[in-house]
Amino acid sequence: MSTFDTPSELHTAFDTLLAGTHRQLRVYDHDLGMLEIDHAPRLAALRALCVAGGRRRIEFLLDDISRVARSHPGLMLLLRDFGHVLEIRQADPDTPRPEQAFAVADRRGVLLRADKAAMHGTLHEDDPARAAELNHSFEEMWQRSPAQLSATT
């Protein structure tokens, strides 16, 4: 387990989690602002996961999807080109949502921020128990979140 407190440490932790992802990445956050998803190496890693085939899956579940198209044009291009692999949904605003933000990779790795509004968090590169718990929480929210972001009008 490692901790992070600054934007650069958060980005390094997310990049580490992303580099270790081989099949599935699930991210829950308020929006994607803190993760700087459109940073070129991060987009390249996401693209590599998309083109790898073999039933890969990337899912972003966000409290607010209103700025994604405007703030993350690179991610929108990936969504357009790989909509069969990459999906972005808005969490159901009428149900309780956790205060924490998290990412789960391959049901093993976990990046966890106890408060969506704060940078501070932890990276657990191999924690299947915690990953299973967060994956379950994500799946419940995902199933109640029909609002999907589209890359086309």
pLDDT digits (tens, 9 = 90+) for 90-127: 999 998 899 999 999 999 999 999 999 999 999 999 99
For residue 101, count other CB atoms closer than 10 A to its CB: 23
Place of tokens 């901790």: 3
d(CA 110, CA 25) in angstroms, rounded, equals 10
55 CB burial (10 A radius; 0-12, 13-18, 19+): exposed
Average pLDDT over residues 125-145: 96
- The confidence score (pLDDT) of residue 149 equals 77
- The confidence score (pLDDT) of residue 59 equals 97
Give the closest residue to 45 by CA, choosing from 24, 21, 66, 26: 21
Which has more confidence, 26 or 146? Answer: 26
Q: Label residue 152 by pLDDT band (50, 70, 90).
A: low
